[in-house]
Amino acid sequence: MKKKLILLIILLLCLNSVYASVISLTTTIDAETMSKNSAKLHIKLLNSGDEAAHNVQISSLTEDFKTDIINVGVLEMNTPFEGDMNVSRTKEINPGNYPIVVLTDYADANGYPFSSISRVDLTYKTRTVSKVSGVISELSLSGKENKKLILTVRNLDNIPHDIKVKLFLPRELKSSDEERSLSLGSKEEKILNFDVSSFSALTGSSYVILTSLEYEQDNLHYSSFAQSIINITEKKAPSIPFWLPIMTFSVLLIIFVYYFKRGKK
């Protein structure tokens, strides 16, 4: 009886540590200058985690260009993958810089799906430098709660611009409104809010999120990115009185002493 009671107390007072394997993908993208109708994106992928990534597929989330889909298959730990993605225009566009967002889909050994996004600037004929910048506040989400993602947009130019803003999220997150337009005067700053929530994000994960900022001037196209992180945290448990753990331990100790003395008789 004493041994069973001691084991019960140990189980109640001790925490068991659980080890979980991790897939950690890093995507690096280099873009050729598009001088005519097509170009290549050179993509490097590295899994620095301790578990292989399965069903790895690379695609794009860009509207102005058509791109290939690259099927990588299984990406082992610390074994880099390199490949080229063809990109071509889908319509007539002005020379300048355009945002390209690349989506990487993958799964763990149990088939649970994950995704991540990366960015690159694609130059069509003429390189341009945007005078519009953005800053996104880092955000934490827990459970299925909906929060405001805050984007601050600044026009550093001496002339006004009409800005097209687009939010890019991995598949595990969602937003009801991912595209906005706004006008910024000279040296003006405005704040945009996007409602975001978790769709299938895992607790403890961090996700890169992006917004592209585009405008036209003098028949040239300008673009820039703003980037931040959304952290997925545990839902906060209701706070308990400080005395409750002490009282619980005291009661267990009294029970232990009582049965220990009875066992000696």
Question: In the chain, which residues have pLDDT < 70?
Answer: 1-20, 236-245, 247, 249, 251, 253, 256-265
**Pairwise CA distance, residues 260 & 265, whole Å:** 9
For the segment 37-60, what is each residue's pLDDT rounded down to a tens digit?
999 999 999 999 999 999 999 999
42 in Cβ contact with 84 (< 8 Å): yes
Under CATH, which architecture does the 129-237 domain have?
Sandwich (2.60)
259 in Cβ contact with 6 (< 8 Å): no
pLDDT at 256: 63
CATH no. for 23-127: 2.60.40.10
pLDDT at 21: 77
Domain range summary for the chain, segments of one domain joined by +: 23-127, 129-237
* Cα end-to-end distance, the chain, whole Å: 13
**Pairwise CA distance, residues 80 & 169, whole Å:** 25
pLDDT at 17: 40
Helix axes 2-13, 243-264, angle to 10 degrees: 170
pLDDT at 260: 60
**Is the fold of 23-127 the same as that of 129-237?**
yes
For the segment 55-102, what is each residue's pLDDT rounded down to a tens digit?
999 999 988 899 999 999 999 999 999 999 999 998 999 999 999 999
User: What number of other Cβ atoms are within 10 A of residue 68's Cβ?
Assistant: 16
Query: E strands along 2-142, which residues?
Result: 25-31, 38-47, 53-60, 65-67, 70-75, 81-89, 96-107, 113-124, 132-136, 139-142
pLDDT at 10: 47
Amino acid, res. 213: L
**Pairwise CA distance, residues 177 & 145, whole Å:** 16
pLDDT at 246: 72
**Pairwise CA distance, residues 84 & 39, whole Å:** 10
60 in Cβ contact with 83 (< 8 Å): no
